[in-house]
Amino acid sequence: MKSYRTLADALDDLRKRGYDADFEQQSDCLYCSDLDLRLYEEEFRIDEVYRFVKGSGMDDNAVVYALTSPTGVRGIIVDGFGASFKNNIQT
């Protein structure tokens, strides 16, 4: 597994490696609006996980998941944790 200095570095490299679908978490699935695709828990595999912690506080921290569906769709979901994290990271 690779090591990245920043969240942006991880997202850039994962996209270069074919993880180009952007997923967001919904109540019962992951959803990619560009593909109008829903993946339920049993329908994807998590290939890689990267955690980014900024400073000593819990603000603006994130976890990046690279995932693959059985049909070959490869994508990314960014999950934030901390009081001020915004779930709309743009790259």
- The answer to whether position 86 is within a domain reads no
Position 85 scores a pLDDT of 40
* Closest CA relative to residue 41, chosen from 19, 21, 67: 67
Q: What is the pLDDT of residue 75?
A: 98
Domain that holds residue 70: 7-81
What does the DSSP 8-state code read for residue 36? T
Q: How far is CA 86 from CA 16, 30, 40, 51, in A?
A: 24, 18, 23, 16
pLDDT of residue 54: 74
Structural domains counted in the chain: 1
CA distance 40 to 42: 6
74 and 65 in contact (C-beta within 8 Å)?
A: no
Q: 91 in a domain, yes or no?
A: no
pLDDT at 53: 83
Q: What is the mean pLDDT of each run of 10 residues along the chain (91 residues)?
A: 89 97 95 96 95 66 94 94 44 36
Specify the amino acid at residue 57.
G
